[in-house]
Amino acid sequence: GQNIDQPTEMTATEGAIVQINCTYQTSGFNGLFWYQQHAGEAPTFLSYNVLDGLEEKGRFSSFLSRSKGYSYLLLKELQMKDSASYLCAVKDSNYQLIWGAGTKLIIKP
C-alpha cells in the first residue's frame, strides 16, 4: 500500500531551527509537497520537490532524496506564527496526492 510517515508532534524554541522528516512509499513518484496548515484553516503551499536536493525559500527549505524515499522540511529562525501542522504529500504515478497525517509543530518562547 501507499504510506507517508511523519512525526505526530514536535516542539521547538522561538528563534531556533527545526527539521520535520517525511518518509514515503508510494506507487510511483511525481513530486513531493509540503503544506502548512493552521488549526481550522485550509493548507497553504510551502514547497515542491521533484528532483533530489535542497530547495530554499526564505526561512523554509525542503530536501528530497528519491532513492531513500525521504524528505525533510527545515524551518529556520522560528517564529511563534510558525506553530501549525505541516503536511507532507506525494503525487503518485496517477498524479494523485497521497497525504501524510501531518506534524504538529509547537513553538515555545
Q: In the complex, which residues of this chain contact other proteins (CB under 8 A)?
A: 31, 33, 40-45, 48, 50, 87, 95-97, 99-102
Span between the terminal Cα atoms of the chain, in Å: 40
> By C-beta, is 70 or 99 nearer to other proteins?
99
> By C-beta, is 58 or 109 nearer to other proteins?
58
* Closest separation in Å from C-beta 17 to other proteins: 25
C-alpha 66/C-alpha 32 separation (Å) is: 10
* Closest separation in Å from C-beta 1 to other proteins: 12
Q: Do residues 12 and 105 make contact, with C-beta atoms less than 8 angstroms apart?
A: yes
Q: Please name every residue paired with 109 in a beta bridge, in sequence order, or none if there are none.
A: none
Residue 81 phi, psi dihedral angles, 5° rounding: -70, -10
> By C-beta, is 15 or 28 nearer to other proteins?
28
